[in-house]
Structure 1
Amino acid sequence: MPRQDAQGASGGAADRGPSPLVRPYAMTGGRTRPRYQLAIEALVSTTAQPSQMQGQLPEHQRICNLCREIKSVAEISALLSIPLGVARILVADLAEAGLVAIHQPGGDENAGGQPDVTLLERVLSGLRKL
């Protein structure tokens, strides 16, 4: 009798929907942390010309194409269906190569280095809507 698993009769990958072809650790070269701290709300915009994208990893190309309109690191992660940590590492790599510009959120200088409460409330509200 043919074995049926929890995925249905065929049990093939097509039944599970889209899944990444490359494991996250392969996308990042085994790194688990970005080269520098990158906030999830940091905004990213592409500075690369199409000719500069030749020879880049497919993930880097996807991020650059996506960021032709400014996106946050969290949006990049969600829209490309990659873990947030992987998105941070890939964006940091692109910034180091000069292919994207990162606009880190600025804190109020009077706040003593603390994050803006209004921004945190907006992020929390957005997360609750998900």
Structure 2
Amino acid sequence: MKLRIKGNTIRFRLTKSEVAYFSEKKLIKESTNLGLKDFSYGLKISEEAQKIGAEYVNDAIIVTIPTALAKSWTDTNQVGLSEEMQVQDGKKLFILIEKDFKCLDEVSEDQSDNYPNPLADKLK
């Protein structure tokens, strides 16, 4: 699972096996060691949630997704989910959760578990 943070935007990208795991377990979480502490991030499916939301607790960013939204994303070809969440001082946090596509350019990372890029056929 990849996490990208830029300004007030957080974006998660998941491979096929990560989406399957998330669908089954209702939670997916990863950590990055930063010396004395780990920084964690993850996604959680919640029956109680009314919309997508994020919280930062115990050195972790956890995004909660309502069950129906999560199911429609994990069980279909739907590419992503998004939400603009109100935070303090009238600011907004933009949350994006996407299926990770194979890159169109040559890259060194293993992409065997990524989703086929819908633009790949158009470039042939």
The higher relative CO (CA closer than 8 Å, separation ≥ 6) is in 1
Given the two structures, how large is their TM-score scaled by the length of structure 2?
Answer: 0.24
Of Structure 1 and Structure 2, the greater strand share is in: 2
Of Structure 1 and Structure 2, the greater helix share is in: 1
Given the two structures, how large is their TM-score scaled by the length of structure 1?
Answer: 0.23
